Amino acid sequence: MNDKIHIFANMTKPGSAEALERAESVAAELGLRAKTYLSAIDMFAAGSEEPPRCIVTLGGDGTVLRAVSAAVNNGFSVDVPILGINLGKIGFFSETDIDGFKSALKSFIAGDYRIEEASMLKAVIDDVGEFHCLNDFMVAKKGFSSVSHVEVSVDGFSMGVIHGDGIVFSSSTGSTGYSISAGGPVVAPNLDVILVTPICPHSLTARPVVASFDSTVRVTAKSECVLHSDGVQLMTIPEKTTFTVRKSEQTVKFIRIGERNIFRLIRDKLV
């Protein structure tokens, strides 16, 4: 039986050193060989040689997003399930805190768990390449005092040019991220869609759109903008640049021990 696990730790979080020591101790107590990484790329490169049984992330939602982004945008697949330990404020991706880690890991070893598979999006930019995200892509204005001008169409049907601070293109998983703060809807976990949510639009008619997950969203920058993926700035988009957002072939698997009520999580976390 594979007794190897990887721990990806965000050491910038308060209490992370103590939590990491406890996590490594729990793994050893339960007969698992834990190897800790502070670099997601190094972790996934090592995993390609001898894949671990699972990846334990120690941090917050940003830690999970950085790990996944580093993997899929550098040629690696996230084939191993993730068990998140939350050290942050929100922790939508996490399954437990450090106090509950031993119990959660015991359940995983015993096979008393289920896998929640999260779909991803990809942005394809001609002459540049493609990028993948778990939560969202954001096209934002270049500077604080400027305005973005972005034309969007869904499956060939134009939404027109949206003027404002930018636009968020999110997956169902990302509906509880930046999109919800910009006025987008909450999407139930069993429904795959692409959300198009304007950020502070300069028009009352620019409203969030829910598109089929099989849709192709075409984006044309009518002004110089900046493209972000899961909160990380990717590149400056010159005026007249066109790219597409569609479903990705990549998915991310999360280890779930108990039932999750996304609506209760929102009530409890977003206060």
Token match 């009518």: residue? 222
Active site residue 61: yes
216's CB contacts (< 8 A; 6+ apart) are 154, 155, 244, 245, 246
Rounded CA gap, 196 and 56, in Å? 31
194's CB contacts (< 8 A; 6+ apart) are 121, 169, 170, 171, 210, 211, 212, 213, 215, 217, 245, 246, 247
Q: Letter for the amino acid at 127?
A: D
Which of 10, 2, 32 lies closest to 102 in space, CA to CA? 32
Q: Which residues pair with 8 in a beta bridge?
A: 37, 57
Residue of 3, 61, 79, 155 marked active site: 61
E strand or H helix at 232, and its extent?
A: strand 232-237
Q: Which residues are catalytic?
A: 61
